[in-house]
Amino acid sequence: MECHDVAVSYLSWVMIVGGVAFLLRQSWECAPYGRCSPAGGLCCPARLGWFLQEVPAFLLPLLLLLLTKPGRSRWSTGRTLLLCTFMLHYFHRSFIYSFLTRGRPVPLSIVLSAAVFCSLNGFLQGHHLLHCARFEHTWLTHTRIAAGLVLFGVGMVINIHSDHILRSLRRPGEIAYRTPHGGMFHFVSGANYFGEIVEWFGFALAAWSLPSFAFALFTVCSIGPRACHYHRDYLQRFKDYPPSRKALIPFIL
């Protein structure tokens, strides 16, 4: 398949502009899912909802990978490794996290919009890495790429561990909120969001492309404000909430 530069550039800038718009919207209104879900309305069970909205970002790159003929190019390993790095996150989200979550039902509108986004982003990252990106033969020895992959791994560990802590606060069927402790929650209220942001900036550092940085920026704009909303909710809900804990960035924000 040929590289469609125009489509890649267009989708990347749509993601950047959409992220900024989402950031501005969330400056006064929390996105309507989780503890911010409105009463009533059509909802999808949490486990099914998370699976349906996340799995396109795994399946579309996988399909592109399977349809791409094995090349003789020395860049093939780099493309495949970075794409598999991207897919690893969404494999976990689709086939592990979604079946473990004890969250609230997800509004159907959120499931549909997230599924559309994950489909477009999965295609964008997959197509760019497989058909547009070029890596020098020494790509694996570059400090930037190694640092990016390490950041991604650290962020994913933080994200998974933080989700485990949050799940452990609830018994099956329970929707009560409690103060999380341990891991990065010692420093920030949105430890799971912090981990995911580190993941995608690590991925962007390694891939070093407009699509990857557009996605990293969108991630900050979409879940960064959510961490701030949750931090304020914790402070209002629990009088003994740790005063030194920040919302998203340790010691800063």
Query: Average pLDDT of 200-223?
Result: 96
pLDDT at 127 over 90: yes
Q: Is residue 129 over pLDDT 90? A: yes
pTM of the model: 0.90
- Tell me what percent of the residues of the chain surpass a pLDDT of 90: 64
CA 199 to chain centre: 8
Confidence label for 30 from pLDDT (cuts 50, 70 and 90): confident
**Is the pLDDT confidence value at 70 over 70?**
no
Give the residue extent of every domain in the chain.
11-237
Name the band, by pLDDT with cuts 50, 70 and 90, for residue 159: very high
Give the model's pLDDT for residue 27. 79
CA–CA distance from 200 to each of 40, 85, 117, 168, 221 (Å)? 34, 10, 16, 25, 12
- DSSP for 115-179 reads HHHHHHHHHHHHHHHHHT----TTGGG-HHHHHHHHHHHHHHHHHHHHHHHHHHTS-TT------
Residue 76: pLDDT band by 50, 70, 90 thresholds?
A: low
High-pLDDT (> 70) share of the chain, % = 91
Which tokens go with 242? 């740790």
Which amino acid would we find at residue 243? P
Best CA proximity match to 117, nearest among 19, 253, 248, 243: 19
Q: In the prediction, which pLDDT does 1 show?
A: 74
Mean pLDDT of the chain: 89
Q: What is the pLDDT of residue 73?
A: 45
Looking at the predicted structure, is the pLDDT value of residue 75 above 60? no
pLDDT grade for 72, boundaries at 50, 70 and 90: very low
